[in-house]
Structure 1
Amino acid sequence: MRFVKNIENDYCKAELYQFNNKYIIKFEAGMLEQIYKVSEFDVSGEEDIEEMMGDGFLRKVVERFKDMENDFDAIIDSVD
């Protein structure tokens, strides 16, 4: 897997990779991760990926992180 670049944003760590004819977009917030894969044949290049990562999409990523954290906290609390 080849690291391409960081995707700048104010919400979380975001990185772009390239592997097996796919772009891999990896978001990290604390102990949680979200990964999205896009075929190289569906976009014309890295610029298209960055365009896809607009504020609306990034807000949804952050919302998912919050939901993931709440779900995981509930599971941990049920074990105690």
Structure 2
Amino acid sequence: MKKHIKEVFKLEKREIILLKAVVRLLAQQERSSYVIDMLSALVVYDGAECDGSCLLDDIRLFLEEVEITSKGLNINQG
């Protein structure tokens, strides 16, 4: 039981890390007077610099880990 609780908190922590990275990425666009290519814009999380494409992949992997598929959410269809 304790292991399960730790896993839940670990997942919540990962959610926060990824959400903060998304906010930082979107804030770059908000501060810019130009349109930024969000998939190539850089953001730092997990102690490394990643682009938006990497962040998108990490979010998809996270969702798969918590058994939410992109097909079920229709996130590939806008």
Band of TM-score, shorter chain: 0.3 to 0.5
TM-score of the superposed pair, with normalisation by structure 1 = 0.32
Q: Which has the higher helix share?
A: 2
User: Greater relative contact order: 1 or 2 (C-alpha under 8 angstroms, separation 6 or more)?
Assistant: 2
Give the TM-score of the pair, scaled to structure 2: 0.33
Q: Larger % of strand: which?
A: 1
